[in-house]
Amino acid sequence: MYTAGMSTPDRLIEATRELLWERGYVGMSPKAIQQHAGVGQGSMYHHFTGKPDLALTAIRRTADELREAADRVLDTPGSAYERISAYLLRERDVLRGCPVGRLTMDPDIIASDELREPVDETIAWLRGRLAGIVREGVDRGEFAPSLVPEEIAASVVATVQGGYVLARASGSTDAFDAGVRGLLSLLAPPA
Amino acid sequence: MYTAGMSTPDRLIEATRELLWERGYVGMSPKAIQQHAGVGQGSMYHHFTGKPDLALTAIRRTADELREAADRVLDTPGSAYERISAYLLRERDVLRGCPVGRLTMDPDIIASDELREPVDETIAWLRGRLAGIVREGVDRGEFAPSLVPEEIAASVVATVQGGYVLARASGSTDAFDAGVRGLLSLLAPPA
DNA sequence: GTCTATAGTTGGATAGAC
DNA sequence: GTCTATCCAACTATAGAC
């Protein structure tokens, strides 16, 4: 991670984001954060009250980035199918998993309403965003009127989140791609 | 957990299965295992070489159970859609997540080929099993011939695994159910 | 703001008595 | 087979000097 030129708090936040992604909250120690950030113990506890404080700040930043990245592919012209397809096919670090979704499997995150909140909010936002696009597709006659936008949106997000699981289990990105293609083949408007 | 009447190794294995499900590998300590099993330190290290040994045994048992449970709903008469539907709708402890899939988010599991192996094998088996059913559906004309069985199977498994993520993020099972219904609505043969 | 020192707790395991 | 004692490292801070 390139942290030169960053302020000490930023170096700590970036190190925490990396470690949360790589090892999760329970698998991440303050010492590891300090070492990755190249920052001493005293500095960390000067700028943050402790591990939960730093984690919350890091999670919020990651959540903001994820939203912006999703909006970049969703907020485009094109048919509903094209926009959903663009979301599903966007570049991802598949074997690392989702930096937000992975946190749902962390017991200490789930046990804390404060730490879970930005995770919940991000995924809820994404589901709503996709549901709106599906609804547009239905309204325009692009999708069958029987489709329930909120359900299709949940399927899309779940396919991505589950795709990470399949990929990490097998150690290959193939399973992720297969799941996405499967869903797209079901969603594809009749040619 | 009811462990009365079980042998000491079995009590340890069951306690480990619970803790792996609840807290993951990195979040589970030998001391916690002993306490949950009601077994002393000496006993644990007498029967198992350490935490990895015990975890491997526990994961294998959980994987076996998951396979049997899946086979019970898949190995039935009925159309391909009905069998896949039965799998997707089978009872689950949604907010606890998948006891096998959750392990893919555990860094120490993924870092160890030995611990990852039963996880990989179980999910690969499930994908293959579902792909076979989809293939039958295609062969019988129940599904569109354009569907790729392996891809649909991956979508089905991913929807379930991702459904757990959505549910745990929101703290409610609703999102899981929505994802499943969405996928089923896309998969449903024309009425 | 940053550093080093200190401290109590837990993690993960070994040794040896019984 | 099980128990207690012991061990060293790591975890998660706090204290106080600079």
Kindly determine whether the C-beta of residue A7 is less than 7 Å away from any atom of nucleic acid strand D: no
How does DSSP classify residue A49? S
Instruction: Burial-class residue A166 by CB neighbours within 10 Å (0-12, 13-18, 19+).
Output: buried
User: Quick check: is A110 in a domain?
Assistant: yes
Size of interface A-B (CB pairs under 8 A): 201
Q: Return the pLDDT at A47.
A: 98
Do B166 and A181 make contact, defined as CB atoms within 8 angstroms? no
Q: Is the pLDDT of residue B4 over 80?
A: no
pLDDT at B191 over 70: no
DSSP symbols for A10-30: HHHHHHHHHHHHHHTTTT--H
pLDDT tens digits for range B68-80: 999 999 999 999 9
Q: pLDDT tens across B61-108, in order? A: 999 999 999 999 999 999 999 999 999 999 999 999 999 999 999 999
pLDDT average, residue stretch B171-175:
98
pLDDT tens-digit profile of A12-37?
A: 999 999 999 999 999 999 999 999 99
Asked if A179 contacts B154 with a C-beta cutoff of 8 angstroms, the reply is yes
Q: Please answer yes or no on whether B106 and A24 come within 8 Å at the CB atom.
A: yes
Q: Is residue A1 part of a domain?
A: no
A110 vs B168: CB contact, 8 Å cut-off?
Answer: yes
In a domain, B96, yes or no: yes
Q: Is residue B1 part of a domain?
A: no
A190 pLDDT band (50/70/90 cuts)? low
Rg of chain A, C-alpha, whole Å: 19
Closest alpha carbon to A98 in A87, A111, A83: A87
Q: Looking at the C1' of nucleotide D13, which residue has the nearest alpha carbon?
A: A50
Instruction: Please report, for the domain that includes residue A179, its CATH number.
Output: 1.10.357.10
Q: Is the CB of A35 under 7 A from strand D?
A: no
Q: What is the pLDDT of residue A111?
A: 98
The answer as to whether B2 is a domain residue is no
Residue B98's pLDDT is 98
pLDDT one-digit tens code per residue, A39-93: 999 999 999 999 999 999 999 999 999 999 999 999 999 999 999 999 999 999 9
Instruction: Considering only the beta carbons, identify the residue of A151, A154, A158 that sits closest to B158.
Output: A158
User: Is A3 part of a structural domain of the chain?
Assistant: no
Q: Is residue A124 part of a domain?
A: yes
B23 inside domain: yes
Q: Domains in chain B: how many in total?
A: 1
Range of the domain at B108: 8-187
User: Which of B105, B146, B186 has its CB closest to that of A105?
Assistant: B105
